[in-house]
Amino acid sequence: MEHLHRTKQDENKGHHYLEKETQNEITHLIGSSITNNILLMMKSAKYYSIILDCTPDISKFEQTTVVVCFVQETRLDGVYSVRIREHVLGFLPVPDSSSSTLAQVKLKFLEDKKILLCNMRGQGYGIGANMKGKKSRLQKRISDMNKRAFYIPCSSHSLNPCCYFF
């Protein structure tokens, strides 16, 4: 409170770190650190599953949520434990929800995060026709690139594909 009071009295005293730009930068740095830690855990696990779900936001712009699942193995003092981890890695804007666009967005996301497609073992999506079709839809496009990335429909949006692959 004292810092805020002094800052309000004399705005020319220098940096007080209350500007929205500074707060946004701090928030971005914290978010990047958390994302990097999740990616390190995921890459040490090697195999992962991914869940994508699209929904329009309040401005009617289509957003895709990216969730990754993997198994984390730890050994501490001779005790071996296995834990299924599930983390949101991001929200991606998509121009439309066609299977070709979603495949491009997904592959670009994996490339940007340096996540290997060949290590994907599960893919889960909503049950929309653009996602689940076996001939030309998103799951088919990814399966054509990685035969081990099995598809499980996400009928209730509570899918945890890691359980099925490990």
The pLDDT tens digits of the residues spanning 51-83 come to 888 877 788 788 888 999 999 998 888 898 999
Give me 107's structure tokens.
Answer: 């592959």
Give the Cα separation of 129 and 134 in Å (integer): 10
Write out pLDDT tens, residues 90-147.
888 888 777 888 888 889 999 999 999 999 999 988 655 455 445 447 888 888 999 9
**Taking each helix axis from N to C terminus, what angle separates 99-112 and 138-145, rounded to the nearest 10 degrees?**
50
Give the Cα separation of 55 and 44 in Å (integer): 31
Contact indicator for 56, 78 with CB cutoff of 8 Å: no
Task: Please tell me the total count of domains within the chain.
Answer: 1
Give me 101's structure tokens.
Answer: 């666009």
Q: How far is CA 28 from CA 25, 43, 77, 94, in A?
A: 5, 22, 36, 21
Instruction: Tell me the backbone φ, ψ of residue 82, rounded to 5 degrees.
Output: -125, 135
Contact indicator for 64, 51 with CB cutoff of 8 Å: no
User: What pTM did the predictor assign?
Assistant: 0.75
Contact indicator for 47, 71 with CB cutoff of 8 Å: yes
Tell me, yes or no, whether 66 lies in a domain.
yes
Domain extent at residue 73: 16-165
Tell me, yes or no, whether 109 lies in a domain.
yes
Tell me, yes or no, whether 7 lies in a domain.
no
* Mean pLDDT value across residues 22-49: 93
In 3D, which of 130, 76, 78 has the Cα closest to residue 105? 130
Give the Cα separation of 1 and 8 in Å (integer): 11
Tell me, yes or no, whether 76 lies in a domain.
yes
Q: Which residue has the higher pLDDT, 166 or 52?
A: 52
Tell me, yes or no, whether 33 lies in a domain.
yes
